[in-house]
Structure 1
Amino acid sequence: MPNIHTVFVYGTLRQGQPNRCVMEPHLVRELGEGQIRGAMYDLGPFPAVTLEEDGVVAGEWVMVKDKGLARLDRLESYPSFYDRAIVSDTANGLRGWVYCMARRKVDGYERVESGDWVAYQANRLVARR
């Protein structure tokens, strides 16, 4: 029987985002929206979160099988690009993995003050029109 992993997703893995399909074949359950403590940065086509700063990051909690976590590890180039850490939700007490970066890796990138990648992307599209 495969292990089940709880993961907090905050960027291109959220519902309606382009990389959601990577984990969907191994998705066990969607646990709903949530928030973690951290700061989000715009790396261009995708965000990164650092846990070394105060702020709130919006996202979703999911449960995936071992193969789902392995696919996420490949997508996120873990451990060479992103790290993985255990975090707790600030509102509902859920706990699980999140892909994050050391603060030094996001130096020079714009901080997403809202901490919500989906809203930030939508605002960028509106601003370009």
Structure 2
Amino acid sequence: MYLVFCYGTLRSGESNHAVIKEATLIESFSWTNGQLYDTRDGYPALIQNEDATVYGEVYEVDDQLLEKINLLEGYQEGRDYNLYEQVMQIIESNRGSYEAITYMMRKPEKRFMEIPDGDWVTYRNRKG
């Protein structure tokens, strides 16, 4: 079993949540270091940044669900360039901390827009 930090379209109520609907929700409110961006393609990107915070959910997934997430995130182990890379990241919550797989992009593209509050759901709902 694996812990995965979901900060974008995999979150509850979001467009790709069906991919992990059978996963076990461990934390519905959690956060980690990073800067969140709107890719302008309907999903966010998390970029490494120790001075910013990104909010999301933590799920426990099995091998099959992790493979589905990898496909969605454009990640393949050993490939030179993935859309996202798997990074083990410390995730905080009101009940403690976890080490979880987090999907990160290496750097933002010029067209990306910074999401200042680090919360994809709040940003998307505000955007309408």
In structure 2, C-alpha distance between the alignment counterparts of 1:86 and 1:107, rounded to whole Å = 26
Query: Which residue in the other structure is 1:20 paired with?
Result: 17
In structure 2, C-alpha distance between the alignment counterparts of 1:55 and 1:90, rounded to whole Å = 13
What are the Cα deviations for residues 71-126 of structure 1, in whole angstroms up to 9, with x where unaligned? Answer: 000001014211110001234211110111012x434311000100000001101x
Q: Give the TM-score of the pair, scaled to structure 2.
A: 0.87
Kindly state the Cα deviation for residue 53 of structure 1 after the two structures are TM-superposed: 5.0
Query: Which residue in the other structure is 1:6 paired with?
Result: 3
Number of residues paired by the alignment? Answer: 119
* Stretches (4+) displaced over 6 A: none
Query: Which residue in the other structure is 2:105 paired with?
Result: 101
Unaligned runs of 5+ in 1: none
- Judge conservation of contact 2:33–2:49 (CA < 8 Å) in 1: no
Query: Which residue in the other structure is 1:86 paired with?
Result: 88
Higher helix share: 1
Query: Which residue in the other structure is 2:36 paired with?
Result: 40
Letter paired with 1:39:
Q
